[in-house]
Amino acid sequence: MLLSWIDAAPRRVLLGVSVVCIGLLAFGLYLQHVVGLEPCPMCIVQRYALVLVAIIAGITSASGKKSLQVSGVFLVLLVAGFGAFVAARQSWLQWYPPEVATCGRDLYGMIETFPLQRAIPMIFKGGGDCTVVDWTFLGGSIANWSFVCFVAIILLALVFLGRKLKA
């Protein structure tokens, strides 16, 4: 059924990937601002990857040309692969935490220690500890679920590319 959707409505599939990524980003912001979970530097990198996938998939969905769709999906594949790598690395760190965690400092420590022009870029690096599991769903941490989502996007992109390059 998914294969027929890719063939029949490739632009809708790409738009759907973009919407799902935006939903995942919104959920991450909910966890940060409502639940109070502080994102770590690896979480921030995964967010950037989701933003890029959403933008690339959204722009690609606007094109009806096969060559642009193939190029855009290839970029989605690369960015999602990078996001999956970061999520897998964070999952590994959560399962086998190092003796000394060096993921970053807290916000107030950065502002007190560094001048504002150095502290602001550090804020965007995240402040939580990459090895700590603050939230789980069905036994998986945020990094685990992020990995699953990136792998799903990768598989969809591979199927999409396979179908488009055959046609």
What single letter denotes the amino acid at residue 29? L
* Nearest alpha carbon to residue 55 among 82, 18, 13: 18
User: How many CB atoms are closer than 10 A to CB 16?
Assistant: 15
With a cut of 60, say whether residue 69 has pLDDT above it: yes
State residue 133's pLDDT score. 61
pLDDT in tens, 79-110: 999 999 988 888 877 777 666 555 544 444 55
pLDDT in tens, 115-150: 656 655 654 555 666 666 676 668 777 788 889 999
State residue 100's pLDDT score. 59
pLDDT band with cut points at 50, 70 and 90 for residue 74: very high
Q: Contacts from 137-143 at CB under 8 Å and sequence distance 24+?
A: 141/91, 141/94, 142/28, 142/31, 142/37, 142/43, 143/42, 143/43, 143/46, 143/87, 143/90, 143/91, 143/94
**Domain-wise residue ranges, the chain:** 2-166
With a cut of 50, say whether residue 167 has pLDDT above it: yes
DSSP assigned state of 130: T
With a cut of 80, say whether residue 56 has pLDDT above it: yes
* Nearest alpha carbon to residue 12 among 156, 158, 166, 145: 156
> Any idea which fold 2-166 has?
Bromodomain-like (1.20.1550)
State residue 106's pLDDT score. 46
With a cut of 70, say whether residue 154 has pLDDT above it: yes
Report d(CA 24, CA 157) in Å as an integer: 18
Tokens 């759907």: give the residue: 16
DSSP letters of 50-68? HHHHHHHHHHHHT---HHH
State residue 125's pLDDT score. 57
With a cut of 50, say whether residue 157 has pLDDT above it: yes
For residue 39, the cross-strand partners are none
DSSP assigned state of 138: T
Give percent above pLDDT 90 in the chain: 20
Mean per-residue pLDDT over the chain, rounded: 77
State residue 136's pLDDT score. 61
State residue 104's pLDDT score. 47
- What is the pTM for the complete model shown? 0.75
Report d(CA 48, CA 60) in Å as an integer: 18
